[in-house]
Structure 1
């Protein structure tokens, strides 16, 4: 199983707010290039987002589905990318004593061709990708938190 983590200067609620907006998925997930649709009840269990992955015009359309969720602490997903198979992904958001959030991301190939790739090779491919994904997720969460704080400050004047 591939595991990466990052600590960000914002709350689990603010990070989960980004995860809960399926339309932002392609903004932080490396490889997802276009969101075609998001179920109205995202991120409820069973809800799906429909995305494209790859580089245009060589894209593949598929879905990611919520398997388990505990807002604002955790979301577990099954990301499908046929014909390669699917992956299990879990994001945990843990508040630190300094009121920051440690984001922990776990991923492994669930089935298909990806499941045949040795774990060591999966790590070589997925660790850099997932670190970049967490960096993008963190930037969006922190940016949204700053903007909300600035709006609140202007509103209190």
Structure 2
């Protein structure tokens, strides 16, 4: 799996709250451009986010589903982008203080042409993208934390 880590100056619960709000998915996931719908059960196992990926009007419609969840410490997703394939994405949250945590994001292609790419190529493509995704996640969580009464 390709793995990136970021320390965020917000409590685990507040970072997980961003992950638990499916309507925010396109705000922090690089490449996701529009949320068309979120299952009422999100983020329970099996629940899906219905999203578009890419720039308009060349968007691809697909879904991301919850494979496993352990609130507020982690979530594992099946992120689809057909016809290119699908990936398992795991986000693990660990408290590092009363108002700080570390988030580890791991991803690996599991279906489609992406899984045929050598690990080194997947690393070259996914590492900068996932660093930016975690940076966006941090911005939202820190902003919410600072705005909280």
Query: Normalised by the size of structure 1, how large is the TM-score?
Result: 0.93
Q: How does 1:1-150 map to 2 (within 5 A)?
A: 1-97=1-97, 99-148=99-148
How large is the Cα RMSD of the aligned pairs? 0.8
Structure whose CA Rg is larger: 1
Q: Distance in 1 between matches of 2:34 and 2:99?
A: 33
Q: Distance in 2 between matches of 1:3 and 1:35?
A: 25
Q: Distance in 1 between matches of 2:30 and 2:115?
A: 20
* 1:79-134 deviation per Cα after TM superposition (whole angstroms, max 9, x unaligned): 01100110000000000146410000000001111001111001101000000000
Q: Distance in 1 between matches of 2:146 and 2:70?
A: 25
How far did 1:55 drift?
Answer: 1.0
SS at match of 1:96: strand
Distance 1:98 1:20, change over 3 A: closer
SS at match of 1:26: helix
Aligned length: 149
How far did 1:78 drift?
Answer: 0.2
Query: Normalised by the size of structure 2, how large is the TM-score?
Result: 0.98
